């Protein structure tokens, strides 16, 4: 909302340097007013009086400095309702950034009531879905995550990777082919499906290795997942390099196991979804804010 300006002067013909009273209408989410005066100087707080180049100001109140996190979350839900998941994710992660435990508890209750899902899971599910939209729905790019959601994020990444690793191709699972790469010596009809599963599983493991707090004290598991990720990347690269691979039809029917966070977006999560749905689901990159490393 723009500031309301009230001018008081004893004479209507008095020059511009006469006393000016400015009352700024601030919202609870704003930290303070930034006021620029005629001499180019900048001041923080609510401007009360300007007389010539003299300034009298008062600091913003504690209430004005405290963001309305509940309102931020409501706005995030509205953005989700409009189909703008990327903007909704940014609003949702701002609502939890640096929030106290008590505030996070209130926000979680608000999310459960509005969406029927814990807030950390809703955050993580949305972030994973948007990451899966990279590369026209075949890639995976997850650049950041709030500390609040990381435990839920790690669990979800692990489940998604397990689904892909268990898929079978020519009598063996993806995990088995990754450990027996030298035995994949000829192109198979479902080679593109194997490459898609292996590449996505590897990307999911890379994200988990970066963000999952459960791995912090598990050195043996971290080492195992690191080796598995490398094997999956080698598998995908090897199969894709075999003669004739590029002649295989890209319309292979690959199914992405990652589900959208809200109803009505299922079509956009599949390769066969409409271009319009995919654009709406992508919106703007959600990982534009710095990671809480």
pLDDT digits (tens, 9 = 90+) for 195-204: 999 999 999 9
pLDDT surpasses 60 at 140: yes
Give the pLDDT band (50/70/90) at residue 136: confident
Q: Which ranges of the chain would DSSP assign to H, the alpha helix?
A: 62-65, 69-81, 85-96, 101-115, 119-131, 150-165, 174-179, 191-211, 219-241, 275-282
How does pLDDT run across 14-27, given as a tens digit for each residue?
444 444 444 444 44
How does pLDDT run across 76-104, given as a tens digit for each residue?
999 999 999 999 999 999 999 999 999 99
pLDDT surpasses 80 at 171: yes
Which carries the bigger pLDDT value, residue 151 or residue 61? 151
C-beta neighbour count of 8 within 10 angstroms: 9
Tell me what pLDDT residue 287 has: 57
Tell me what pLDDT residue 155 has: 97
Tell me what pLDDT residue 180 has: 95
Q: CA-CA distance, 199 to 229, in Å (whole number)?
A: 9
How does pLDDT run across 254-286, given as a tens digit for each residue?
999 998 888 655 444 344 333 334 333 444 445
Tell me what pLDDT residue 50 has: 47
Tell me what pLDDT residue 153 has: 98
Average pLDDT rounded to a whole number, residues 110-123: 95
Which carries the bigger pLDDT value, residue 172 or residue 33? 172
Give the pLDDT band (50/70/90) at residue 4: very low
Mean pLDDT for the chain? 78
Of 161, 157, 75, 73, nearest to 117 (Cα)?
Answer: 73
Cα→Cα distances 45→26, 35, 219, Å: 10, 8, 50
Tell me what pLDDT residue 135 has: 80
- Strand pairing category for 42-44 and 54-58: unpaired
Average pLDDT rounded to a whole number, residues 51-60: 49
pLDDT surpasses 70 at 149: yes
Q: CA-CA distance, 125 to 156, in Å (whole number)?
A: 8
Tell me what pLDDT residue 215 has: 96
């Amino acid at each position: 909302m723009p500031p309301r300006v009230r001018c008081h002067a004893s004479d209507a013909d008095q020059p511009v340097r006469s006393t000016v009273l400015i009352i700024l209408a601030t919202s609870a989410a704003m930290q303070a007013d930034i006021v620029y005066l005629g001499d180019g100087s900048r001041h923080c707080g609510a401007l009360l009086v300007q007389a010539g180049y003299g300034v009298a100001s008062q600091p913003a109140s504690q209430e004005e400095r405290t963001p309305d996190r509940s309102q931020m979350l409501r706005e995030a839900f509205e953005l989700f309702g409009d189909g703008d998941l990327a903007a909704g994710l940014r609003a949702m992660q701002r609502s939890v950034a640096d929030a106290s435990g008590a505030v996070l508890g209130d926000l979680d209750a608000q999310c459960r009531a509005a969406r029927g899902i814990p807030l950390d899971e809703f955050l993580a599910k949305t972030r994973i879905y948007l990451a899966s939209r990279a590369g026209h729905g075949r890639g995976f790019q997850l650049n950041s995550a709030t500390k609040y959601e990381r435990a839920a994020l790690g669990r979800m990444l692990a489940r998604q990777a397990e689904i892909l690793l268990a898929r079978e191709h020519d009598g063996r699972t993806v995990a088995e082919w990754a450990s027996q790469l030298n035995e994949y010596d000829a192109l198979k009809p479902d080679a593109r499906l194997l490459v898609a599963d292996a590449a996505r599983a590897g990307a999911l493991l890379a994200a988990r290795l970066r963000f999952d707090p459960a791995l912090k004290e598990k050195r043996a598991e971290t080492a195992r997942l690191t080796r598995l990720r490398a094997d999956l990347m080698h598998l995908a690269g090897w199969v894709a390099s075999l003669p004739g691979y590029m002649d295989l039809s890209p319309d292979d029917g690959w199914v992405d196991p990652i589900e959208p966070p809200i109803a009505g977006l299922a079509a956009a999560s599949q390769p066969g979804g409409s271009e319009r749905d995919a654009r709406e689901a992508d919106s703007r990159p959600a990982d534009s804010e710095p990671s809480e490393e």
